[in-house]
């Protein structure tokens, strides 16, 4: 049977079973996993074992690359406290307990116990996060703790994979101190390469609006990293992780994620399909009590350890229990470590088959255990608090755009201790705001998943501070259509932008330079000889006069295209405004009114009468 036919069968079966899984309220991970179980060694056995191993190799690379995209260095640094206190301590305690059981009860050698213990201490990262998203808990304290634990486990998994060659008995230049030094040199070199060569080149391409060359640059970077890792004799998964982290560390991470977004679920699903193909339930029929006991021990140990740590980290017992039950299974991270150990001949095929069955059974059981816990506890997890890891909570204020305008709004909110979320897709380095009680999401505001992640359902006010008129109008149009009750405060670039916002029914808008210009104009009048009171009156009168003029123009030009034709050119619009003011001034001069003192105030009265 040809490879093309295999892929067609697998894809067709996945379409049916993944759709059915979602129909039943389960995650897509289970759909792909069950597809592999049915078609693989536990079912129809349609594919040779050697080809399954090839699938595993390629799927592992894709999965680790996706994980790398989530491991932004800035994000890791900001969450370092919770990565260590929750993820790090959980891994050490859980691994210590399993290693002890492996040595005392299972009579495993020390090295095997060490590898198995640390591998089983890891959880199913994608499954756990899908469960949190499915139950709308990712923005709660429990969800954010789950994210912190899985990120820590992902880092530990790759670290363990990098360490495995050091335990092999072969003597070659790629092992020992030389191997460790090569790994450190590669990591350092990749990030220097990205920071001082790739990022400046991407900035140049962005200025040239060469989107296709940016995609080509990203592909070149990934291939170059893989070739470097292969040439140095390092594990290919280290290259996959570094490639993902390098792209995530650029200001154009959102653009790269947008490129692969349609294939993201399929890329991760390919791994779980391969895992299902690899798993053999024959070991369960051979030793059912042994396998079931291992699964039960794994679920109990991990759920208790995580629940205790969660409660110690200020969760109540209900939410701490949900944290433990959501991460009690083993998953893709565990399999990656064990499969790498198998290739290094540190564990045998029999142990690998048994532990793969344990991994698959725990993944199949954990969603139902979590669902049962939800019904027993009968309460939603508590909302996040500012002093927890939940800098990614859902406050009532969302600010879209973090340029010079949005930054002032955020500073005022922070001064008043108002929690807020920032959404911006072109503001690299803004993650520092999370250290001050805010939350930063690097994404497009018109993306429905972004808005859900920002907590749009709980938001009371959305400030749109985007400087680009077209992007702003797209965002306003989307929000008005999907969240008509949400209060919008919108930044307007100019008078033309104001007309467009009024036509959309926006009541609260501020022209970005109006207030500062009027404040300077008031000081200018005072410096020119007017008293402070007179200068304030003239500027206030001008403000009202200008607002009335805007309304008059709005009535005359309802059509967006007509407004653009009339005032699209800034210089032509300015000429129109000066001519209009001159005509009004002339009318009042004919009435023997003092234009220098009463001009604007009288014009407001006249405008109101019209």
Looking at the DSSP assignment, which residues form a beta bridge with residue 488?
462
Question: Which residue among 511, 534, 568 closes a domain?
Answer: 511
* pLDDT (average), residues 113-123: 95
CATH of the domain at 458: 3.40.50.720
CA distances from 410 to 401, 414, 423 (A): 10, 6, 11
Q: Do 248 and 361 lie in a common domain?
A: yes
3 state DSSP class of 527: helix
* pLDDT (average), residues 104-112: 90
Q: Could you tell me if residue 73 is inside a domain?
A: yes
Is 584's pLDDT higher than 60?
A: no
How far out from the chain centre does Cα 108 lie? 41
Q: Do 64 and 177 lie in a common domain?
A: yes
* pLDDT (average), residues 432-446: 73
Question: Which residue among 511, 540, 565 closes a domain?
Answer: 511
The predicted-structure confidence for 156-195, as pLDDT tens digits, reads as follows: 999 999 888 888 755 544 456 677 777 788 888 888 888 8
Q: Could you tell me if residue 429 is inside a domain?
A: yes
Of the candidates 430, 564, 523, 562, which has an alpha carbon nearest to the alpha carbon of residue 75? Answer: 430
Q: Do 479 and 372 lie in a common domain?
A: no
pLDDT at 429: 59
Provide φ and ψ at 443, rounded to 5°. Answer: -165, 180
Residue 267 contacts residue 442 (beta carbons within 8 Å): no
* pLDDT (average), residues 272-301: 94
CATH of the domain at 282: 1.20.1530.20
Band (pLDDT 50/70/90 cuts) for residue 366 is very high
Structural domain including 418 reads: 397-511
Is 602's pLDDT higher than 80?
A: no
Question: Which residue among 495, 511, 527 closes a domain?
Answer: 511
3 state DSSP class of 464: strand
Q: Do 403 and 363 lie in a common domain?
A: no
Q: Do 358 and 497 lie in a common domain?
A: no
Q: Could you tell me if residue 389 is inside a domain?
A: no
Place of tokens 């056995």: 45
Beta carbons within 8 Å of 100's beta carbon, 6+ residues apart: none
Q: CA quadruple 548, 554, 556, 561: dihedral positive or negative? A: positive
Rounded to a whole number of angstroms, the CA Rg of the chain reads 30
pTM to 2 decimal places: 0.66
Q: How many structural domains is the chain composed of?
A: 2
Q: Could you tell me if residue 142 is inside a domain?
A: yes
């Amino acid at each position: 049977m040809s490879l093309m036919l295999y892929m067609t069968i697998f894809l067709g079966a996945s379409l049916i079973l993944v759709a059915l899984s979602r129909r039943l309220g389960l995650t897509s991970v289970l759909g792909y996993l069950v597809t592999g179980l049915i078609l693989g060694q536990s079912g129809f056995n349609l594919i040779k074992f050697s080809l399954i191993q090839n699938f595993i190799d390629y799927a592992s690379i894709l999965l680790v690359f996706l994980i790398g995209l989530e491991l932004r260095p800035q994000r890791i640094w900001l969450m370092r406290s919770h990565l260590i206190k929750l993820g790090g301590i959980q891994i050490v305690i859980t691994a210590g307990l399993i290693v002890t059981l492996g040595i005392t009860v299972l009579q495993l050698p020390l090295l095997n116990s060490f590898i198995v213990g640390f591998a089983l201490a890891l959880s199913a990262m994608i499954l756990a996060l899908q469960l949190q998203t499915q139950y709308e808990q990712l923005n709660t304290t429990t969800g954010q703790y789950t994210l912190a634990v899985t990120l820590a486990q992902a880092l530990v998994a790759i670290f363990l994979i990098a360490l495995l060659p050091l335990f092999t008995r072969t003597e070659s230049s790629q092992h020992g101190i030389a191997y460790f030094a090569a790994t450190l040199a590669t990591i350092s070199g990749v990030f220097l390469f990205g920071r001082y060569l790739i990022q400046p080149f991407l900035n140049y391409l962005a200025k040239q609006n060469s989107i296709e060359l940016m995609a080509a640059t990203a592909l070149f970077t990934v291939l170059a990293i893989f070739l470097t890792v292969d040439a140095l004799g390092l594990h290919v998964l280290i290259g996959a992780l570094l490639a993902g982290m390098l792209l995530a560390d650029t200001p154009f991470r959102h653009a790269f994620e947008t490129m692969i977004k349609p294939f993201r679920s399929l890329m991760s699903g390919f791994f779980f399909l391969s895992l299902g193909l690899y798993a053999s339930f024959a070991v369960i029929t051979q030793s059912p009590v042994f396998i079931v006991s291992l699964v039960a021990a794994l679920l109990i140990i991990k759920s208790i350890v995580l629940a205790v740590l969660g409660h110690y980290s200020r969760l109540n017992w209900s939410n701490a229990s949900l944290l433990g039950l959501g991460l009690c299974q083993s998953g893709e991270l565990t399999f990656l470590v064990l499969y790498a150990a198998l290739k290094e001949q540190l564990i045998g095929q029999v142990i690998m088959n048994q532990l793969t069955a344990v991994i698959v059974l725990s993944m199949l059981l954990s969603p139902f255990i979590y669902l049962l816990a939800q019904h027993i506890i009968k309460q939603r997890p508590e909302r996040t608090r500012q002093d927890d890891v939940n800098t990614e909570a859902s406050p009532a204020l969302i600010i879209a755009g973090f340029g010079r305008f949005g930054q002032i709004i955020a500073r005022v909110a922070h001064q008043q201790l108002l929690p807020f979320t920032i959404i911006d897709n072109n503001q690299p380095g803004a993650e520092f705001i999370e250290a001050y009680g805010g939350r930063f999401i690097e994404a497009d505001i018109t993306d429905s998943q972004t808005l859900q992640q920002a907590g749009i359902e709980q938001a009371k006010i959305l400030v749109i501070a985007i400087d680009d008129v077209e992007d702003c109008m797209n965002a306003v149009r989307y929000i008005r259509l999907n969240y008509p009750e949400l209060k919008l405060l919108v930044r307007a670039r100019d008078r033309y932008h104001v007309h467009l916002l009024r036509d959309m029914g926006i009541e609260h808008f501020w022209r970005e330079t109006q207030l500062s210009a009027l404040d300077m104009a008031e000081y200018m009048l005072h410096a020119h000889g007017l008293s402070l009171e007179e200068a304030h009156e003239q500027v206030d009168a001008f403000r009202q006069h200008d607002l009335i003029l805007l309304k008059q123009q709005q009535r005359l030009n309802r059509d967006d295209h007509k407004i653009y034709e009339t005032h699209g050119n800034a210089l032509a619009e300015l000429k129109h405004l000066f001519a209009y003011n001159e005509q009004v001034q002339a009318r009042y001069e004919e009435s023997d009114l003092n234009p220098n003192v009463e001009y604007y105030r009288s014009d407001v009265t006249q405008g109101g009468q019209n």
